[in-house]
Each structure stands twice: as structure tokens, then as C-alpha cells.
Amino acid sequence: MTGEERVAELHRRMKGLRRKRESRLMNAMGVVSTALFACLFVMIQNLGVGQYGTTYNLYSGSSLLYEDAGGYVLTAIVAFVVGTIVTVLCVRKHNKDKENEEEK
């Protein structure tokens, strides 16, 4: 095996390891996103219960004015941050895929 073949084999293995790592990262992001969705759903359900066990109308802005709006604000901030992170990671992956296609 010549030196060039060894370098080519090394690059091929490195690409495989990068793809494997990125695949694990994407799977982990999917699991975290699903868990966050479930947490947000539970939080909204718990925040929607009134003081006598009645449920507010969760789809109107007036429900924010009735009691504490802190939970809704927290939910919005968490959702925004997670959405931003997922968007940035997806854009990076798209750019890397584009670079890999151009190398071939």
C-alpha cells in the first residue's frame, strides 16, 4: 500500500466517523426535542387549570391576564431557544453536506 492510498483510506475513515458522530447527534436532538415537547405539553396542561379545578381557555390571550403569566413566558423562551438551536444545527449540517458533495 502506497502513502497516497493510506492517506485516502485515513480520510475515508475520518468521514465515516464524522457521519457516525453527526448521526448520533441528530438522534439525540430528536430525543431531546420530543422530551421538551412532552414537558411543554404537561406544563401547559398544568398551567391551564383554574383555582377551582376549571380549565381556562388555553387558546386566548386573556388567559395570560388571569393569574401568573410566568409559566407561559418561560415556555415561550424555552421553545424559542430550542427552535433556534435546532435551526442552527440543521443549517450547519446542510452546509457540511453541500461541502461533501462538492468534494466528490
Cα radius of gyration rounded to whole Å, the chain: 23
Q: Decide if 44 contacts 69 (C-beta within 8 A).
A: no
Q: Buried b vs exposed e over 16-41: b needs ≥16 C-beta within 10 Å?
A: eeeeeeeeeeeeeeeeeeeeeeeebe
pLDDT in tens, 78-100: 888 888 888 888 888 888 888 87
pLDDT in tens, 13-31: 998 998 899 889 888 888 8
List the domain boundaries for the chain: 3-103
**C-alpha to C-alpha distance for 91 and 94, rounded to whole angstroms:** 5
List beta partners, residue 56.
none
